[in-house]
Amino acid sequence: MRKPLMAGNWKMNKTILEAVSVVKALKSAVADISDVEILLCPSFTALYAVNNEVKGSNISIGAQNLFWETKGAFTGEVSPAMVKDTGCSYVLVGHSERRQYFGETNETVNKKTRAALAIDLIPVVCVGETLAERESNVTFQIIEKQIEEGLAGLTPKQASLTVIAYEPVWAIGTGKTATPEQAQEVQAFVRKIYAQIYREAADKVRILYGGSVNPGNVSELMKQPDIDGGLVGGASLEAESFVKLVKYSVAN
Ligand code: PEP
């Protein structure tokens, strides 16, 4: 049985004080939840303070990025050990905004994924097609390549620990959600590719859906057999709506 994971990606939002204030509200509202794993990914600058706030609670924290080298002359980068040092157990890898604005490729995603796993950080590897790719009917080829290249060289154990987030680029921050059927179709395909490469890890890997998830659409999405949770941007920024997302998945 895969435990659902509801993850909030705060992107480049919130000062330290703002982040801590949302976490304080969130922490008490979700204190009784044990059927869903709750993950918050604040900006690097807020991680340490947010970690102090979530210690001993049922909320885990993750970074939004990491670099694959362990140390050295890489100005502005953050190493896997530094991410871990702030209290993170997860890290987002290859979010479409990083692919689009910061030149990340399947190859760099692979380096980051392997570097995270090497230090026992769980990577949440983001995959997804652009609108042009969907309209050209190449969605499955794109996703297959992102999985094959982005996750190349993982052991079966690492493959089952890794989390995949299917995020159609056209649905991120646009208010356009994939229909539950569209999301399920691609997520079932991700599991099929996984089974071909990593065999039994396919039953264990959690595949999240991301792209304008909100309290109004989460229920239908979470009913799909291959949707094991959500990666949520906008609707995770305020405690009230994120609590609704987390609680909805519990109700189901
Ligand atoms: C995201 O940040 O990964 C995301 C899916 O954003 P939003 O929920 O705002 O579309």
Burial label for 195, CB within 10 Å (0-12, 13-18, 19+), is middle
Q: Say if residues 245 and 20 touch (Cβ distance below 8 Å).
A: no
Please state, in angstroms and rounded to a whole number, the distance separating the CA atoms of residues 114 and 233: 25
Please state, in angstroms and rounded to a whole number, the distance separating the CA atoms of residues 157 and 135: 35
**What pLDDT was estimated at residue 249?**
65
Q: Say if residues 144 and 193 touch (Cβ distance below 8 Å).
A: yes
Q: Which ligand 1 atom sits nearest the alpha carbon of residue 235?
A: 8
Residue at 23: amino acid letter: V
Two tokens at 23?
């976490």
**What pLDDT was estimated at residue 91?**
99
Single pTM value for the model:
0.97
Q: Left if phi > 0, otherwise alpha if psi is -120 to 50, otherwise beta: which for 86? A: alpha
| Residues in contact with 129: Cβ distance below 8 Å, sequence separation at least 6, in sequence order | 138, 139, 142, 143, 168, 169, 170
For residue 127, how many C-alpha atoms fall within 13 Å in the half-sphere facing its CB? 30
- Measured from the CB, is residue 41 less than 6 Å from ligand 1? no
Q: Which ligand 1 atom sits nearest the alpha carbon of residue 175?
A: 10
Q: Say if residues 116 and 93 touch (Cβ distance below 8 Å).
A: yes
- Measured from the CB, is residue 9 less than 6 Å from ligand 1? yes
CA of 72 to the centre of ligand 1 (A): 32
- Measured from the CB, is residue 128 less than 6 Å from ligand 1? no
Residue positions annotated with a catalytic role: 95, 167
**What pLDDT was estimated at residue 37?**
98
What is the distance in angstroms between the CA of the first residue and the CA of the last residue of the chain?
A: 14
Please state, in angstroms and rounded to a whole number, the distance separating the CA atoms of residues 192 and 236: 30
What pLDDT digit, counting tens, does each position of 26-40 carry?
A: 999 999 999 999 999
CA torsion 225-227-228-231 (nearest 10°) is -170
**What pLDDT was estimated at residue 215?**
95
pLDDT band at 252 (very low <50, low <70, confident <90, very high): low
Whether residue 250 is predicted with pLDDT greater than 70 in this model: the reply is no
Share of residues in the chain with pLDDT > 70 (%): 98
For residue 180, how many C-alpha atoms fall within 13 Å in the half-sphere facing its CB? 15
CA of 10 to the centre of ligand 1 (A): 9
**Tokens 């690492």 appear where?**
158
- Give, using CA atoms, the residue closest to atom 6 of ligand 1: 233
What pLDDT digit, counting tens, does each position of 59-114 carry?
A: 999 999 999 999 999 999 999 999 999 999 999 999 999 999 999 999 999 999 99
Two tokens at 3?
């435990």
Closest to 247 in 3D by CA, of 23, 21, 26, 2:
26
Whether residue 169 is predicted with pLDDT greater than 80 in this model: the reply is yes
Residue at 230: amino acid letter: G
